[in-house]
Structure 1
Amino acid sequence: MHNIQHQQKQQQHQQKEQKQQKQQKQQQKQQQKQQKEQKEQHQQKQQKQQKQQQKQQQHQQKEQQHQQKEQKEHE
């Protein structure tokens, strides 16, 4: 019985991680789009936005690494 609960927990955890990875991919896509726009427009405002997005992305990556580490410890 306990085992099933453990498996369910792990599955939820994995789903959470997949969701995060999906989000990250979307963010990267957005970033590429922004970089392209930046080349075309050379705007400082966009640079600022991009920096903020990179910050967010780094934060997400950090969290993801933390989660993956936790998962390995669970196994």
Structure 2
Amino acid sequence: MHLQEQQQQQQHQQQQQHQHQQQQQQQQQHQHQQQQQQQQQHQHHQQQQQQQQHQHQHQHQHKLQQQQQQQQQQQQQQEQLYCFFGQQHQQQQQQQQQQQQQQQQQQQRTNKNSVWVAAI
């Protein structure tokens, strides 16, 4: 249900903004569908493309991809087109890395503590 609500919101935003840059960015998010969507682009059925995008998203990436799409609509930068292939995977990796960094920091703190204890 949440996915459908967000789809509708995104469609309304794009109808109001009428910006092709955003729609291209969203299409590049989903690597598996690029070829089909680029063919459809020429017919300008952009709203249908969005629905297909959302339906074919991997379930574990739903939240990440929707956040990315909302950010795209607000930022409206062409530069994101070049970074987009990496961003999907980077965001997941960054979350994992942040968790790892937090663990490492905790380990470093305990190591420092143990060093002090050893020094004493």
TM-score normalised over the length of structure 1: 0.43
Compare CA radii of gyration and give the structure with the larger one.
Answer: 2
TM-score normalised over the length of structure 2: 0.29
| Higher-helix-fraction structure | 1
Higher relative contact order by CA 8 Å / sep ≥ 6: 1 or 2? 1
